[in-house]
Amino acid sequence: MSLNIDDLSPQELAALIARANKRKKLLAKRKPAAQVKAAVAKLLKSAGWTFEELYGKSAGGGSATPKKPRKAAVKRSAGKVPPKYRNPANEKETWTGRGRPPRWLAAELAAGRKLEEFLIQQ
């Protein structure tokens, strides 16, 4: 809802402020949603029901049971990987073998050379 308060008269503005304060007091009396959801879930569990069994999966925008935190994403940062392939024409150009091959290597492979020819000898 968009309301332009610049167009309101002083009486309308005072009425709006009174309504806003009344709404603010009402919201302040409410318990936090998470606390209410937990209480409902506890009541349902004690009665042997689930929210989904009573209202269906889409009712109310979701489950009344407290959500479990998701598992943390696995970091795949293995640190710096040493290069496996080197451009013989330019020693500074290397590739680790991960992701898309660099342009120089893709051009060489397209010309018919084999990937093993560019391996760095350890």
Hey, which residues does 85 pair with through a beta bridge? 95, 119
pTM for this entry: 0.37
Q: Are 82 and 97 spatial neighbours (Cβ–Cβ below 8 Å)?
A: no
Distances (CA, A) of 4 to 7, 30, 67, 112: 6, 29, 39, 69
Residue 34 lies in a domain: yes
Q: Are both 56 and 91 inside the same structural domain?
A: no
DSSP letter string over 59-98?
Answer: GGGS-SSPPPPPPPPPP---------EEETTEEEEEE-S-
Mean pLDDT computed over every residue of the chain = 85
Residue 49 lies in a domain: yes
Residue 25 lies in a domain: yes
**How many structural domains is the chain composed of?**
2
Q: What is the pLDDT of residue 52?
A: 85
Residue 100 lies in a domain: yes
Q: Are both 16 and 57 inside the same structural domain?
A: yes
Q: Are both 91 and 57 inside the same structural domain?
A: no
Q: What's the whole-number mean pLDDT along residues 86-114?
A: 93
Q: Which of 66-80, 83-97, 108-122 has the lowest mean pLDDT?
A: 66-80
Can you give the residue range of the structural domain that contains 54? 8-61
Q: What's the whole-number mean pLDDT along residues 83-100?
A: 93
Q: Which two tokens stand for residue 83?
A: 């290069």
Tell me: pLDDT of 112 over 70: yes
